[in-house]
């Protein structure tokens, strides 16, 4: 049962001029419908293009467990569930039997995954779409920037450090429901980060649904401008998960000279210091027309004077995601501001869904600290473990974020790639950020 989770298989990636044309045609038709209904036109990410073939090749090889690990890391700071953050990442485990694959074949939904799609189609495709898209995004950006590290940061949490994202947040609300779900921070110690807004969608319907989703994703991707007008690079994805065939990740990108958080040396921030919550006025200012200043359009604008602050916010938010994934509330609190949800980690969790950082495991020869969760798969009791490499977690817990980033960057290419640990007794995934997810059957 668990061997299937550790089986590496192919995942097809579709990104070419034909896809771009189909997405653009959907966007044009959607704009026409909105005009007929007298609705405001949507602002879409301009300059979309296929992802270069050299960066995606013939696709990617992934294990189902790596996809679930990527999903778990992505949702560790989510506000959608009742886990108050510290148990959010266990949501990935509900898909432990949803995927199947084998070496030399393409990954697809299992029988259980197909059955689940009949009842929870939108939720399953949405969440698995995140796992596949972010795994591909890291693959693409690691190839593009081989001497950098790539961190995935939830956009809502990062933006809340400087903006009132919704009306429930303190401050002047942005009042714009479109925004990317994640940022990819491409970084190297001591250098400015480069940031890519990422939008992930998924469906069980087919390629035409992916075209519609990518057209919608282009609206969300344009909601954040880092630097000049429409100059921020971005990645958008729609994962097609058919019930009767292999899955395909449809991908497009926008290139741009923005997104680089270059700032004067005098503004460089100490990442070990707590983040000061800012109150950036919402809106994106388009360039002047005929010398006349125009009204700002809805969205989030990170201008050059905020680059150092935003790099600080991304690093601290990423650290919070790691400590939450390891189940440590006390370590998570200092990395978040109040508007980002700091108080959620200071209170008492609901019964049965909390996590506590009190587990120690050695996986593929590396000591990890984290938290565990016991549940049943087809009536069989299994134990899941999530955590961070012990030496790296010690830096995070003691608020030595700079040292963590220095060391994890130095070891980014040396982590084990095995997907099964015989001594542990089950599938294991270790990501370059030093986090691990493992599963095993418990003795009867």
Looking at residue 82, its pLDDT comes to 47
Q: How far apart are CA 93 and CA 384, in angstroms?
A: 8
Give the single-character DSSP code of 98: S
Q: CA-based angle 265:157:373, to the nearest 5?
A: 120
Mean pLDDT across 13-35 = 97
Q: How far apart are CA 57 and CA 345, in angstroms?
A: 42
Q: What is the pTM of this model?
A: 0.95
Looking at residue 348, its pLDDT comes to 57
Give the single-character DSSP code of 45: -
The confidence band for 355, taking pLDDT boundaries of 50, 70 and 90, is low
Residue, of 285 and 319, whose pLDDT is higher: 319
Kindly tell me if the per-residue pLDDT of 225 is higher than 60.
yes
Mean pLDDT across 233-251 = 95
pLDDT tens, position by position, 313-342: 999 999 999 999 999 989 999 999 999 999
> 134 near 199, Cβ under 8 Å?
no
pLDDT tens, position by position, 68-114: 999 999 999 987 654 445 678 999 999 999 999 888 889 999 998 99
Average per-residue pLDDT for the chain:
93
Report helix, strand or coil for 361. strand
Q: How far apart are CA 206 and CA 241, in angstroms?
A: 8
> 388 near 404, Cβ under 8 Å?
no
Kindly tell me if the per-residue pLDDT of 350 is higher than 60.
no
Looking at residue 346, its pLDDT comes to 82
């Amino acid at each position: 049962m668990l061997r299937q989770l550790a089986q590496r298989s192919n995942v097809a990636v579709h990104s070419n001029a034909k896809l771009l044309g189909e997405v653009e045609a959907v966007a044009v038709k959607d704009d026409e419908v909105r005009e007929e209904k007298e609705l405001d036109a949507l602002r879409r990410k301009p300059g979309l293009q296929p992802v270069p073939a050299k960066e995606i090749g013939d696709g990617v090889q992934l294990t189902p467990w790596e996809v679930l690990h990527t999903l778990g890391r992505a949702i560790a700071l989510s506000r959608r569930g009742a886990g108050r953050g510290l148990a959010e990442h266990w949501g990935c485990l509900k898909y432990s039997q949803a995927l199947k694959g084998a070496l030399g074949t393409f990954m697809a939904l299992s029988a259980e995954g197909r059955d689940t799609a009949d009842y929870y189609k939108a939720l399953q495709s949405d969440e698995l779409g995140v796992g596949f898209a972010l795994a591909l995004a890291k693959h693409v950006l690691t190839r593009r920037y081989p001497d950098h590290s790539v961190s995935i940061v939830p956009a809502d949490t990062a933006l809340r450090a400087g903006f009132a994202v919704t009306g429930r947040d303190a401050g002047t609300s942005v009042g714009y429901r479109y925004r990317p779900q994640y940022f990819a921070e491409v970084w190297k110690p001591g250098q400015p980060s480069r940031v890519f807004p990422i939008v992930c969608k998924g469906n069980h319907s087919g390629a035409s649904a992916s075209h519609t989703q990518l057209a919608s994703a282009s609206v969300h991707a344009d909601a954040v401008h880092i630097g000049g007008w429409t100059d921020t690079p971005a990645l958008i994805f729609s994962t097609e998960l058919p019930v009767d065939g292999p899955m395909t990740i449809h991908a497009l990108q926008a290139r741009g000279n923005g997104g680089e958080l270059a700032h004067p040396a005098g503004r460089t921030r100490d990442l070990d210091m707590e983040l000061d919550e800012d109150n950036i006025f919402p809106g994106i200012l388009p360039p002047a027309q005929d010398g006349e200043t125009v009204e700002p359009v809805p969205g989030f604008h990170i201008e050059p004077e905020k680059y150092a602050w935003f790099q600080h916010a991304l690093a601290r938010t990423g650290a919070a995601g790691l400590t939450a994934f390891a189940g440590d509330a006390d370590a998570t609190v200092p990395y978040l501001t109040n508007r980002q949800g700091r108080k959620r980690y200071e209170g008492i969790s609901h019964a049965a869904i909390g996590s506590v950082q009190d587990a120690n495991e050695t996986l593929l020869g590396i000591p990890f600290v984290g938290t565990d969760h016991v549940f049943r798969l087809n009536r069989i009791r299994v134990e899941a473990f999530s955590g961070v490499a012990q030496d790296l977690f010690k830096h995070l817990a003691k608020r030595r974020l700079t040292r963590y980033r220095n060391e994890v960057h130095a070891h980014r290419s040396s982590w084990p790639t095995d997907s099964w640990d015989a001594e542990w007794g089950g599938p294991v995934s270790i990501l370059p950020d030093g986090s691990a997810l493992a599963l095993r059957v418990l003795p009867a």
